[in-house]
Structure 1
């Protein structure tokens, strides 16, 4: 009997929204859209009421990077204000604080970040030059790096408030490149925003972001795959497979898509098809941990012990601290009647994750098969069932060990205490 993987251990594959990205930001400014902070609501209301000639405007979010003293952080607001007034060409003596005159407005989000909108420019290129100039002036004045995200309106079918949100998503996008970048909102920004919502388990909103991104770039493989993953984790396997098939048709050699299609078959308990897809994924790249892990598990279920061992060992080479892979090696040795080696593997798995019910149950079984440490085996078997009360395999093992323990106690000589 081989326990199934927990749903928490088998994951759909997603990539970074762009393989050139360095890593996620420490702070996601797009979270402010969902948190509806006072600053965001205030700026949004002012932007909606603003009289913008021609309806064209740019919205930008600015973050001052680097380690700054409190004194320099306090100076940052004055620097930003001065640079913004200079950008708009306002005359000395005009109203300064949070300007909402004829050409723009701004708001501080915190002590080191600001959001602004400006209009009254004749060409998009000139507006972009103004944004670059603003970045350079603030950076020079504070002698630090500046991170910026910007969004244009009108763009696609986004409203004014959505343009503000797009600028926040754009600075999240910029943060992936490091603390001194400027990025304009695009489909990748929406992919990053969707990934953040996915991370927060806000799946419906994530789906909306991916779909909106696909309106901008209908053939974006990452967006299509991400949309499929979202459908998959919410249980809509038919729609998930539809998206993965679209992605496969566009890019037949995309390993994450092939893997995800195989995972759908595994979830549907169509093991033969799942193995076919996992083997295709392995052929494309034999160094993907998730592929080796799932392929090893599937082959173990089919009693292909030698092949299963090969892939589980490959998974452990890629991630030596993987509890699931270590535990599956234990299950393999149990099936091969090598209780000693099984016990060694389960021991490692329990050390990696003391709350792994399958590893605890397997360890108990391995000790029982060796005919030793029955009291410890009984403790582990009981704990495994506490963790997963409905697991029939764990129940059967506990009953087997309990009978053996009770029989040993009955046969024990009077006056001799059990170990």
Structure 2
């Protein structure tokens, strides 16, 4: 039940590319690894055949600024071809267009890594000058750790996705963060096993990277492997005991395991480090409400609303808190906000119906909300009981009114 709740609002914290100064790309080229285009299939075969016997080579994925003019994009293929042959030749490299403004190159026959980087810089300069447009580039030089030749094209695409977070004019060399971003993309697509593989590859490159350790913990947590999740969160905490996302996630594991005292201790520590994280404030408010610590819960729920006013969950929990305090008008006001923000939240609908019924107000609306909550979750016994209670209240009021009418007649 808790895992279902996590997926909606109270969830594991992750640090990916959505920092205020970074923007995720509109297109992830690493998606071509799971849904390869004809062009990528052709290039993958060519690189496998051509580079299998090479000791060193560089693979680079190049994208023109997506905001470039249509005229610039129209001549991109011609420019890629001309610049490739002005810097290299058919004996020193291969290339393929992936779409109208993106290409992937491989080149070799350089003696040192520095010479390879100079060739890469020259290729960048030639193409950007010819097109009068900035480029986004992701590159990887072989050999790289124990990665095989056939993974080089995919790694270049992952580095391109990584570079795209920084925008035009940036080049990124493939690293552990590239794999974290790739894993996050797979996680976003609900391919948890593949995401775990990416994070593990990333840790083979950067074994003490907190983001990768935390990401792996999150993936195992969502996959309900809680012991494994805790193992990686603890490793991350040992590296940096003040990392708020890791502390929150440890607290969340304790909450899932119903160790509320431990969960509250970790969440309070996370709050002390950063009081402006929605998930921390929401979970703290929720847990304190469950512990009947209403006065302590309220400031955290109010903070969650301030941090994410478009979320109905904090309003709904406040409604439940007011119900527990027998402040039915206050509860109705909070549930009203929750239902406005999420008309299909069965808990908010049922709570709102109950708050109205306890005030003996708007019973027809209360009855319809109670019915809708049950329709959304037909197996919920509490919603069914709530519907029956409201129906009984309405029936009793009708009977009383009928008796009064008879007496007055």
Please give the TM-score of this superposition, normalised by the length of structure 2. Answer: 0.94
Show the counterpart of 2:77: 77
8 Å CA contact 2:52, 2:149 repeated in 1 = no
Q: CA deviation at 1:52?
A: 6.4
Distance 2:182 2:288 in 1: 37
Q: Is the 8 A contact 1:18 1:188 kept in 2?
A: no
| Map of 2:272 onto structure 1 | 283
- Superposition pairs of residues 322-341 of structure 1, within 5 angstroms: 322-341=311-330
CA distance in 2, matches of 1:372, 1:61: 64
In structure 2, which of residues 83, 102, 115 is the aligned counterpart of residue 113 of structure 1? 102
Question: Which residue does the alignment assign to 2:31?
Answer: 31
Please give the per-residue CA displacement for 1:354-380, whole angstroms capped at 9, x wherever unaligned.
011111011001101111111111110
The answer to whether residue 60 in structure 2 is matched with residue 60 in structure 1 is yes
Is 1:395 the equivalent of 2:378? no
SS in 1 for 2:23: coil
CA contact 1:282–1:292 (8 Å) conserved in 2? yes
**1:346 aligned residue:** 335
CA contact (8 A) 2:18 2:24 kept: no
Q: 1:264 aligns with which of 249, 253, 259?
A: 253
Whether 1:127 and 2:116 are equivalent positions in the alignment is: yes
Structure 2 unmatched runs, 5+? none
Q: Compute the displacement of 1:321 (Å).
A: 2.3
- Structure-to-structure mapping, 1:82-161, within 5 angstroms: 82-88=82-88, 90=89, 101-161=90-150
Determine the structure 2 residue equivalent to 1:215: 204
Alignment of 1:225-240 (within 5 A): 225-240=214-229
Q: Distance in 2 between matches of 1:301 and 1:164?
A: 51
- Give the secondary-structure state (helix, strand or coil) at the position aligned to 2:402: coil
- In structure 2, C-alpha distance between the alignment counterparts of 1:46 and 1:5, rounded to whole Å: 47
Distance 2:317 2:301 in 1: 8
1:192 paired residue number: 181
How many angstroms does 1:275 deviate by? 1.1
My pick for the range that moved more, 163-172 or 272-281, is 272-281
How far residue 147 of structure 1 moved from its aligned partner, in angstroms, is 0.7
1:274 to 248, 259, 263: 263
Structure 1 residue 410 corresponds to structure 2 residue 392: no
> 1:160-205 CA distances to partner (integer Å, 9 max, x unpaired)?
2211100000000101111111111001100000010000011000
Q: Deviations over 1:80-121 (max 9, x none)?
A: 111110111x4xxxxxxxxxx321111000011100101111
* Residue pair 2:268, 2:284 contacting (<8 A) in 1 also: yes
| 1:372 corresponds to | 361
Alpha-carbon spacing, 1:168–1:247, altered in 2? closer, same or farther (3 Å)? same
Secondary structure of the residue that 2:193 maps to in structure 1?
Answer: helix
| Cα contact 1:17–1:222 (8 A) shared by 2 | no
Structure 1 residue 17: Cα displacement: 5.5
Conservation of the 8 A alpha-carbon contact between 1:190 and 1:209: yes
Q: Tell me the C-alpha RMSD between the 2 structures.
A: 1.8
Which residue of the partner structure matches residue 245 of structure 1? Answer: 234
User: Alpha-carbon deviation of 1:19?
Assistant: 6.0
Distance apart, 1:394 and its partner CA? 1.7
Q: 1:320 aligns to what SS in structure 2?
A: coil
1:234-262 per-position Cα deviation (integer Å, ceiling 9, x unaligned): 11111001111111111111111110011
Q: Distance in 2 between matches of 1:124 and 1:52?
A: 19
Which of 275, 286, 306 matches 1:297? 286
How far did 1:410 drift? 3.0
CA distance in 2, matches of 1:6, 1:195: 17
